[in-house]
């Protein structure tokens, strides 16, 4: 079974998709303002409601870790990268090289960047916590402003 729920957040309208009782995607809807569907009723499933609740707690600065079942649909390499991203503590960052080393392949820095770019589960798989080794913030699917916002949120600047 697949179900979807969308709601407004400080970074735009988030769309959560559930598949087989696991969170399959969290993404920012890329449609023009006013041309999207935001549900105002409670999500249809308990899992989507819990995801909605946990994400709202995150944006309020009250949640640092997510504990929902996730459904990845990527290559084995991508899934290793995404699992490594989930180990980055709230409020901290790692470099692409750090992630490559964490998955046991120091030479895979570019491939780590590509896997980061294909991360289907925004925020709960915190690809926004990966930055360049020199500290530069770039390479985020939804733009550097949103990435900076999420990093600043985790430093306690907006909650």
Task: Check if 127 is active-site.
Answer: yes
Tokens describing residue 34: 């006013």
Q: Which one is catalytic: 16, 127, 150, 151? A: 127
CB 144 within 8 A of CB 152: no
CA-to-CA distance for 100 and 131, rounded, in angstroms? 13
Strand ordering across the sheet containing 22-28 = 2-9, 12-19, 22-28
CB 82 within 8 A of CB 76: no
The CA–CA distances, whole Å, from 109 to 1, 42, 65, 72, 131 equal: 36, 41, 26, 21, 12
Which residues are annotated as catalytic?
Answer: 127
């Amino acid at each position: 079974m697949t179900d979807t729920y969308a709601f407004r957040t400080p970074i735009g309208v988030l769309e959560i998709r559930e598949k087989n009782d696991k969170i399959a995607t969290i993404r920012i809807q890329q449609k023009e303002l006013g041309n999207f569907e935001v549900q105002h009723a409670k999500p249809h499933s308990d899992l989507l409601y819990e995801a909605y609740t946990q994400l709202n707690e995150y944006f309020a600065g009250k949640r640092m870790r997510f504990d929902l079942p996730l459904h990845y649909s990527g290559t084995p390499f991508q899934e290793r990268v995404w699992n490594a991203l989930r180990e980055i503590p709230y409020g901290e960052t790692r470099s692409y090289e750090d992630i490559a080393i964490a998955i046991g392949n120091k030479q895979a820095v570019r491939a780590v960047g590509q896997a980061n770019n294909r991360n289907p589960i925004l925020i709960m798989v915190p690809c926004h916590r990966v930055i360049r080794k020199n500290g530069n913030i770039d390479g985020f699917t939804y733009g550097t402003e949103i990435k900076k916002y999420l990093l600043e949120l985790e430093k306690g600047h907006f909650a």
